[in-house]
Amino acid sequence: MKQKIRKYYIGLVSVILILLTACNDLNQVPTGQFTDDTYWYSTDKASYVLNMAYSQMMGDNYFFANEALSDNLFVTRTSDEKLISSGIANATTGRFANEWSDCYGGIRTCNTFLENVDRVPAMDVTLKARMKAEARFIRASLFFRLTNWYGAVPLFSKNLTATESKVIGRTSHAEVLNFVRTELDSAVLALPASYTKADIGRVTSGAATALKARTYLYENDWANVVVETQKIIDSKTYSLFPDYAGLFSIANENNSEVILDMEYVPTLRTWSEYFDYSPPSAGRRVNQQSPTQELVDNYMTLNGDSIQQAGSGYNEANPYVNRDPRLAVTVLFDGGIFKVQVTVPKPGIVDSVIHIKPGSKTVDEYKTGTGNNSMSGYYMKKYYDPTFTGSYSSGLNLILIRYADILLMYAEAKNELGVMDQTVWDQTIKLIRQRAGFTDVNATDFKATWTQSELRKIIRNERRSELALEGTRIFDIRRWKTAETVLNTYPHGAKYGEATIDNGYIRLDKRSFNPNRDYLFAVPQAQKDLDPNLGQNPGY
Amino acid sequence: MNIKKINKPKQGHRRFVFLSFIFLLFVGSANLEAQNRKITLSLEKVSLRQLFNAIEKQTDYKFLYRDLILDDLKDLSVNVEGKEISTVLDQVLPGKNLQYKIQGTEINIIRKATVSTGNSITVKGNVEDESGQALIGVSVLQKGSTKNGSVTDMDGSFSITVPSGTEITLSYIGYLPENIVAKEGKLIKVKLTEDVKKLDEVVVIGYGTVQRKSVVGAVDQIDSRKIEDRPVSNLAQALQGVSANLTIQQRSMNPNDNQLNINIRGVSTMNNNDPLIVIDGLVTSLGSFNQLNPSDVENVSVLKDAGSSAIYGSRSANGVILVTTKKGKMNSRPVVHMNSLVGIQSPNVLYKPVAGYENAILKNIAANNTGNTLPYSPAQIQDLQKNGANSKWFLDEILQNALQQNYNLSISGGGQNSSYMVSAGYVNQRSNFVSGNNPSYGMERYNFRTNLVNTLGLFKLTTIMSYNRNESNSPNADTGNLMADGGRIPNYYYYKQKAANGHYLINEVLSQFTPLGSLEAAGSNKYDTDYLNGSMNAEMKITKGLTAKAMIGIDLNANHRATRSLQIPYYASEEATTPAIFQNIGGKTSDWNQKEYTINTQFLLDYDRTFNGSHHVSGLLGVSNESYSRYSNEIWMNYVDANLGIPTSETALAGNIGGKTTPMNTTLSDIESMFGRVSYSYKDKYYGEVSFRYDGSSKFAANNRWGFFPSLSAGWRISGESFMDSYRTNVGDLKFRGSYGILGNQNIDDYNFLTTYQNYDNQYSFNGTTVSGTGFTLGNPIITWEQSANFNIGLDATFFNNKFYGSFDYFNKVTSGILLSPVNPSVLGTAAGIENSGEMQNRGWELTIGYRARTGDFSHNISFNLADSKNKVLAFTGNELIHSGDSKSDIIRVGAPFASYFGYKTDGYFKSYADIQNSALPVGLDATQLAPGDVKYVDINKDGVIDNKDRQILGNAFPRFTFGATYELNWKGFDLNVLIQGVGERTMFLRGELIEPFHANYSYTMYQHQLDFWTPTNTDARWPRLALSGSTSDVNNYGYSSQTQLLNAAYIRLKNIAIGYTIPKRITSRFGVQKLHISANAQNLLTLSPLTFYDPESTEFLNNMGGPKGVGANSGRSYPTLKYIGFGLDLEF
């Protein structure tokens, strides 16, 4: 009996042992991802974290949505940008929360890189120094984005703990800017002026200087704008690319004009915003936003006069001829050309004339409030990439700072300092206009009779025309404090509306901009709830 | 070794029992000789019990009579002096059909061996149920005997030889036993009455079974009768409405993605709320559950409280569903059962667009209201009206009636030592989407099952093997988009999806593709699953009451999906000869394979004994291991051959042409457990039970891996007390029960305790070449099990001789240490690792009542259940989290139900311009931009502006007061079955075009249910005044999460109705058919709800009801509710 029981026990124990050893172990670690213990062992892996920071520096969604906040575009559909431009955004509006968290997400990546890269054994010292500078540049650019939108923001240079994140207060706008500039100064020293081959597209010392110039520009600190832009001009590293339209094509990426951009590759790393911007005949999804008549009207005629000027040659009945060549590159208007992909008779890209005017009997025709088409009668065109694949997936780089911008900054600062003259003009606006395709001397040459304020208008209009749809306009009208005027009115579309209203130009939904509130974004409500020390910007 | 092996002999053990009996007699008499003592008694008219008491007083002997119920007849008179006990017992026991044996100082009273005494007679008869159906396998037993018995055959007939005048007991599980007196010659006809409360029903519980009367936990068992013959495509659908607080919500009726949420007793964690699924003792997944053939299911047990589910400690906090499949019966001839159900499912879209010309007028009204140019001229409107007859709603063009077929065949039976059940099933459910040139959409499932039981002496081996194959072909388009695109088009005659020449057309509204084009020509997704579920379960009787069980089971899912995406040309007009655009440029194909399997091994020791006839002790001790592995890979190719989808010279493997290739994607996890249970009951009056489970999970770090989950339950059958004798006789049974225990939950993703780095390819690029990027997820090494303290108290009662029963349960669950990703400020820059930080309470009750009545030839069986559960967040890091998307917000807030709808309260519509001037308006809105008829919000904090601070909790998506009722009526050969199911209280949040006319310029039509809008003459309208999208009024009325979008989704639905007729056996038996039943049935025939334009049953809860983003908002995109009408045929021979 005893023996029998012992036998059972032996049987039992062996069964249990088999059960517990037959299958997966209790100690499981992931097979498809690294852990903190296994990650920081190679230069390559460290560089992947830095690459992630690059991807978080800016997003194509913000690139185009920022333009939608300005008077260059009209937003058709409900979106955060629509709420903001209608003046009915509040502290819970998604854009405010997203911009905040996306920026701090990128900052975390930079800090994680900076705090761990020294763990990598036998890493090349020069490379490490350069990579650290790249990370610090990206971090500085993110703090700059933050302080532009929100004013005072939490500032730190090491990863926060969860506890710290719940009590941190905001650092003043001036101090954040100070930090950004100091970081950029050290980046300028540690970064190369240019790269070769596989590294082209990384941030350079020139990019750091240019970004620093922008930090002064947004503060109207003209003397320092001149100092920083002068450095770039003098370095002769950059020049205007000869073909304005070609600037925004895949064939000419990383050309001599590009100082800082977001890099993409066809089919692999792409953006697809034009899916919702293109005309219907090009197979788009919906129409999310479209250029305004106000933007179209900003473009001069070929003789350099504004369309309002007598003798400009502007003909309201045939408004798109005899105009600044940049208009047709930037905006698709009735009778304009859009490159469309076809498969018949054979696959390729053909020039398609787009008819928008009512009565033209095409799918692109403007219809009052019924269709899914542009409500302004215009479509966006700049950065449209006809070589897209699938649902408008484009691999075209999006430029964040280009040399023309530097020249315009330089010209503006010189004028604000009261020292605009022919030399400066010839170095800046003239070059830009000539490159745009102006040949009339009335358009390209400096006039000594211009007053400072006339020049101011000329330079500002030039800036709008040159940089339209590149995401800079909203920051310009904010620093000029003209946002409260241009964003506080009805935007308009083409002259397809009722003749009795606004001379027949389509009257679009009214915009609203409260100068006491809207120069800053709201601190996101949820963030304020989690961290009582954040406070709120006025008016929210 | 103790050999009192006499009680409850099982068929197949007979020889063993007989031998034991002989042995026992031998041992017994040997003891008798040795232990005799003399006694003196003088008793008149006493009962046996009194006699035993008297003997016990005089001697050291003690009488034991377990499993025997002594009669209380005072019919004994004993007068002895100095006689041996044996003399007395020999004198009185034979008359009672009893005998004795003496062992030490114990005298065991046992039933007398059946030896025919003299005038035995043979009694013949047959047994049927109330509807006149023969009952097969009814136990026919001579009363007082355990050996002399028989069972009814296929005709319900039996034959038994017993002493004349003795009583014969007929018993059958689920029926009240019947006694008859043996009389010779006459064929006895017996009708058994169903026992509504089924006190002797065997209820499946964790790792064992128990009789219904001994159940002390909250356990509901649904037997096959409620599941069979329902035209459902999966088991979950069949369980809807049949058990209290078993809430089953259909997320989509699409046969290609039959999504159902199964929930027991409400939301109790912020993570996964799915119950644990156990099939034939094997822990598995909801996916496997839905692969089962409902016809193979013998019963489904729902374990709701801690007392019953703590044995599954690890993941039982959300309740447990135990499925037992059918087995054959020993000693029965082969029974062949065939059944088929064929019917039509028709899509029932509850919203309908207005006529085309009406839509144009309405759009003009909206434009006029908001000061915009009128989009339609009178001529256009007249044109639309004139041609209105030619218009066809796109949604009507893409939906069709579809055929559903279910066929099942099973053979079961058994010999002396083995039994078998072999079945095959086939389901074919066609999709309601048209398919054109594509292969027809829908799903087919093949089920095969072999369940074998073999006994060999002390051993019993159960082998289960089931193979299921599911093949589905679905559109290469998202259901939501198909429904939305099809539904948003106004009824204008000039909008067409297809020209007469077969060209697919676009228009300015649908300018990329149309649903008809996508369905007919865009290719399809073929998805197939091979599911294998097999287990071997060996039992060995070690010693009396002690059984050892070992089990190994495997649950294997091999999934494969092949997607073909075909390029389609679209034309701008019917006359156009060159395509305007193409959908799916280049075409693409992808292949995805996944294999996942769980190996489950268990070893158990099971003990079950009754002592002294009153003390029932059972216990269980076990170990188990569950090991889960998953591997998957995927390949995409672009520019493949248009016909075959095979690579050509232009083909590019994804990797350099968009798409992706993934190498083996592996997930491994493991749970190791020890568990045990001890239960004790005394005379079926007092019950006590303790159980525990000790689990280790690979989802936690080594130090925090193990969790201990104990529970305690007790029950008191008060009606078993002697002071309740008259109650028992006159009223019925009454039992109180209660339980308390701690349960666990670890239903979270793997590796959360580690900080991990994930590599993403193509994350950024330099100079035209992409580079990888690495992201990180912070881990938290100290996470451990969620714990749910679970209290349950219940009451079971029967009345009117068990004709009426009722059962009530109250529960209170507090789940603490809920694993949550804490809400940290964004400045942290990443999501912090999850932590055990949340706490939730979930309270509720369940009421089940049933009644069975018989009036003349009619028999009625009614059951009804009603339940409620309500949860409350008790603790939450950060105290609240608001999640917003589109115009919907929900909130997790301490003190409020989980994921409540959050937003602004409304106070009707502005009555006048003065009303607008005097009211608080949403921040930024200008009074001049609004007009009477726009929504007026409530300024809760009275600060003169409607802003974030005015937001309130508006409602909750979880159904309250869920109920179900079944009614069965039998009359002669006819039967009627009705299932009604519904929800008493629920709010639904619906956004998009079904709420907002011309929704955000995405929708171009208004629906008929939106016609009751505000106008100066219709001021108590359901909806605000019309306004064009993008206008300030439109933003005001629909741009905020508010009561405008909230609907009352209470409903009552006639879920199933079936009428059948059984052809009399006297006719069918001529063809060798034992049973032929024909039926007509219908599902979802009738629904009553305040919500008339959208299916109130559809749910906003996402998969598994968990997570801070666990609740979405319906946007009118779901697959339509289906009405089913069909016929069934049941054949048995």
Out of B461-475, B667-681, B873-887, least confident range: B873-887
The answer to whether the Cβ–Cβ distance between B629 and A18 falls below 8 Å is no
Instruction: Give the mutation candidate from A80, A530, A540 for the B interface (greatest B CB count, under 10 A).
Output: A530
CA pair distance B412, B422, nearest whole angstrom: 6
The residue written with tokens 């170990």 in the block is B623
**What DSSP assignment string belongs to A296-323?**
HHHS-BTTS--TTSTTS---TTSTTSSB
Instruction: Give the mutation candidate from B664, B774, B876 for the A interface (greatest A CB count, under 10 A).
Output: B774
Question: Cα distance from B728 to chain A (closest Cα, Å)?
Answer: 46
Out of A145-154, B348-357, B392-401, B1115-1124, least confident range: B1115-1124
Residue of A nearest to B658 (CA): A267
The answer to whether the Cβ–Cβ distance between A200 and B767 falls below 8 Å is yes
Helix axes A403-416, A222-235, angle to 10 degrees: 140
- pLDDT grade for B57, boundaries at 50, 70 and 90: confident
Region B372-383 average pLDDT: 87
The ipTM estimated for the assembled molecules is 0.90
B948, pLDDT greater than 80: yes
Q: Pairing relation of β-strands B568-571 and B504-505?
A: parallel
Residues of A in contact with B764 (CB under 8 A): 51-52, 54-55, 263, 269
Residues of A in contact with B625 (CB under 8 A): 19-20, 22-23
The answer to whether the Cβ–Cβ distance between B767 and A254 falls below 8 Å is yes
Q: What percent of chain A has pLDDT over 90?
A: 75
Region B371-379 average pLDDT: 84
Token reading at B1117: 């995109």
Q: Find the radius of gyration of the CA atoms of chain B.
A: 35
What's the pLDDT at B4? Answer: 40
Region A289-308 average pLDDT: 95
Q: For B1077, list phi and psi in degrees, rounded to 5.
A: -125, 130
Nearest CB among A268, A370, A525 relative to B375 is that of A370
What's the pLDDT at B8? Answer: 39
Region A299-323 average pLDDT: 93
Residues of B in contact with A200 (CB under 8 A): 766-767
B130, pLDDT greater than 80: no
Question: Cα distance from A209 to chain B (closest Cα, Å)?
Answer: 21
The answer to whether the Cβ–Cβ distance between B827 and A531 falls below 8 Å is yes
Residues of A in contact with B550 (CB under 8 A): 15
Handedness of CA A325, A326, A332, A338 (dihedral sign): positive
Residue of B nearest to A49 (CA): B774
Question: Cα distance from B1036 to chain A (closest Cα, Å)?
Answer: 10
Out of A92-101, A485-494, B64-73, B434-443, least confident range: B64-73
Going edge to edge, which strands form the sheet with B581-583? B504-505, B568-571, B581-583
Strand partners, B179: B169
Token reading at B609: 């004994």
CA pair distance B773, A112, nearest whole angstrom: 13
Question: Cα distance from A232 to chain B (closest Cα, Å)?
Answer: 22
The answer to whether the Cβ–Cβ distance between A105 and B1035 falls below 8 Å is no
B511, pLDDT greater than 60: yes
B102, pLDDT greater than 80: no
What's the pLDDT at B953? Answer: 93
Region B62-72 average pLDDT: 69
Region B1074-1102 average pLDDT: 87
What's the pLDDT at A46? Answer: 94
- pLDDT grade for B107, boundaries at 50, 70 and 90: confident
Nearest CB among A16, A89, A253 relative to B603 is that of A16
Mean pLDDT of chain B: 83
Residues of B in contact with A371 (CB under 8 A): 508-509
CA pair distance B113, B116, nearest whole angstrom: 9
B890-927 pLDDT, tens digit each: 888 999 998 889 999 999 999 999 999 999 998 878 78
CA pair distance A225, A411, nearest whole angstrom: 10
Q: Number of A to B CB contacts under 8 A, please give it.
A: 318
Q: What percent of chain A has pLDDT over 70?
A: 95
B853, pLDDT greater than 90: no
Q: Pairing relation of β-strands B62-64 and B106-111?
A: parallel
Task: Decide which of B309 and B299 is more confident.
Answer: B299
A90-137 pLDDT, tens digit each: 888 889 999 999 999 999 999 999 999 999 999 999 999 999 999 999
B96, pLDDT greater than 80: no
The residue written with tokens 């750091």 in the block is A208
Residues of B in contact with A252 (CB under 8 A): none
The answer to whether the Cβ–Cβ distance between B668 and A55 falls below 8 Å is no
A385, pLDDT greater than 60: yes
Residue of A nearest to B652 (CA): A267
Nearest CB among A24, A280, A365 relative to B668 is that of A24
The answer to whether the Cβ–Cβ distance between A19 and B923 falls below 8 Å is no
What's the pLDDT at B1103? Answer: 54
What's the pLDDT at B17? Answer: 38
The answer to whether the Cβ–Cβ distance between B764 and A263 falls below 8 Å is yes
Task: Decide which of B1029 and B1007 is more confident.
Answer: B1007
How many other CB atoms are found less than 10 A from the CB of residue B76? Answer: 18
B711-768 pLDDT, tens digit each: 999 999 998 888 888 888 888 889 999 999 988 887 777 788 888 888 888 899 999 8
- Where is mean pLDDT largest: A271-280, A477-486, B485-494? A477-486
The answer to whether the Cβ–Cβ distance between B1030 and A77 falls below 8 Å is yes
The answer to whether the Cβ–Cβ distance between A497 and B832 falls below 8 Å is no
In angstroms, the first-to-last Cα distance of chain A is 85
B954-1002 pLDDT, tens digit each: 988 888 999 999 998 988 889 998 999 999 999 988 888 889 998 877 7
Residues of B in contact with A104 (CB under 8 A): 826-829
The answer to whether the Cβ–Cβ distance between A368 and B603 falls below 8 Å is no
Residues of A in contact with B668 (CB under 8 A): 24, 28, 31
Contacts of B708 (CB under 8 A, 6+ apart): B313, B692, B693, B694, B742
Task: Identify the DSSP state of B351.
Answer: -
The answer to whether the Cβ–Cβ distance between A165 and B825 falls below 8 Å is yes
B19, pLDDT greater than 90: no
Out of A211-225, B312-326, B407-421, least confident range: B312-326
- The residue length of chain B stands at 1133
What's the pLDDT at A370? Answer: 54
The answer to whether the Cβ–Cβ distance between B1 and A109 falls below 8 Å is no
Beta strand ranges found along B544-685 (DSSP E): 546-565, 568-571, 581-583, 588-611, 615-638, 652-653, 661-682
B156-165 pLDDT, tens digit each: 788 888 877 7
Residues of A in contact with B666 (CB under 8 A): 31-32
The answer to whether the Cβ–Cβ distance between B773 and A365 falls below 8 Å is no
Residue of B nearest to A202 (CA): B766
Burial class (CB in 10 A: 0-12, 13-18, 19+), B530: middle
What's the pLDDT at B999? Answer: 84
The answer to whether the Cβ–Cβ distance between A498 and B627 falls below 8 Å is no
B490, pLDDT greater than 80: yes
Task: Identify the DSSP state of A523.
Answer: P
The residue written with tokens 């004198």 in the block is B91
